[in-house]
Structure 1
Amino acid sequence: MITSAKNEKIKALRKLHKKKERTETGTFLVEGNHLVEEAWKSNWTIMEVIAQEGVELPKWCEEIQVIFVTEQVFQHVSQTKSPQGIAAVVKIKQAMVDLDNHLLLIDAIQDPGNLGTMIRTADAAGFGGIILGSGTVDLYNDKVVRSTQGSLFHIPIKAAPLDTEIKQLKHNGYTIWATALQNAHNFSETNRNSKVALILGNEGAGVQQVLQEKADNVVKIPIYGEAESLNVSIAAGILMYYIKG
Structure 2
Amino acid sequence: MITSVKNEKVKQWKKLHKRRERTQAGAFLVEGFHLVEEAVNSNWTVREVIIQEDVEQPSWTDSYPVVIVSENVMAHITQTTTPQGIIAVIESCEQTKRSGNHLLLIDSIQDPGNLGTIIRTADAAGMDGILLGDGTVDLYNDKVIRSTQGSIFHIPIFHANLEEVLSDLKEEGFSIWATALENASNYNDITPEGKVAIILGNEGAGVQAELIKQADRSVKIPIYGQAESLNVSIAAGILMYHLKR
Range into which the TM-score falls when normalised by the shorter chain? over 0.9
Instruction: Say whether residues 1:99 and 2:95 are aligned partners.
Output: no
Distance 1:130 1:100 in 2: 11
Aligned counterparts of 1:97 and 1:150: Cα–Cα separation in 2: 21
SS at match of 2:177: strand
* Map of 2:121 onto structure 1: 121
**TM-score, normalised on structure 1?**
0.98
Could you give the per-residue CA deviations for residues 143-199 of structure 1, whole angstroms, max 9, x where no partner exists? 000000000000000111001111111111100000011210000111312210000
Task: Tell whether 2:195 aligns with 1:168.
Answer: no
* SS state at 1:177 partner: strand
Structure 2 CA distance, aligned partners of 1:208 and 1:153? Answer: 29
RMSD: 0.8
Rounded Cα–Cα distance in structure 1 between residues aligned with 2:130 and 2:243: 15
- TM-score with structure 2 length normalisation? 0.98
Unpaired runs of 5+ residues, structure 1, are: none
Give the drift of 1:215. Answer: 0.5
Tell me the CA shift for residue 96 of structure 1: 3.5
2:68 aligns with: 68
User: Structure 1 residues 234 and 97 mapped into 2: Cα distance closer, same or farther (>3 Å)?
Assistant: farther
Equivalent-residue separation in structure 2 for 1:41 and 1:60 (angstroms): 10
55-64 or 42-51, larger mean C-alpha shift: 55-64
Cα offsets for 1:62-121 (capped at 9, x unmatched) = 011101000111010000000000000001112145422200000000000000000000
CA–CA separation in structure 2 for the residues paired with 1:90 and 1:100: 26
Aligned residue in 1 for 2:213: 213
Is the CA contact 1:97–1:130 (under 8 Å) kept in the aligned structure 2? no
**Residue segments in structure 2 that go unaligned for 5+ positions in a row:** none
2:196 corresponding residue in structure 1: 196
Task: For 1:127 and 1:69, locate their aligned partners in 2 and report how far apart those are by CA, in whole Å.
Answer: 39
Number of matched residues?
A: 245
Q: Is the 8 A contact 1:46 1:90 kept in 2?
A: yes
Question: Is 1:135 paired with 2:141?
Answer: no
Whether contact under 8 Å (1:108, 1:202) holds in the other structure is yes
In structure 1, what is the equivalent of residue 243 of structure 2? 243
Q: Cα deviations across residues 10-58 of structure 1 (Å, max 9, x unaligned)?
A: 0000000001111111110000000000000012100000000021122
Q: Distance in 2 between matches of 1:238 and 1:96?
A: 28
Q: 1:19 maps to which residue?
A: 19
* Partner residue in 2 for 1:179: 179
Say if 1:97 and 1:157, in contact at 8 Å, map to a contact too.
Answer: no
Q: Determine if the alignment matches structure 1 residue 9 to structure 2 residue 9.
A: yes
Query: Hey, which bits of structure 1, 4+ residues long, moved more than 4 A?
Result: none
**Alpha-carbon distance between aligned partners in 1 of 2:126 and 2:179, rounded to the nearest angstrom:** 20
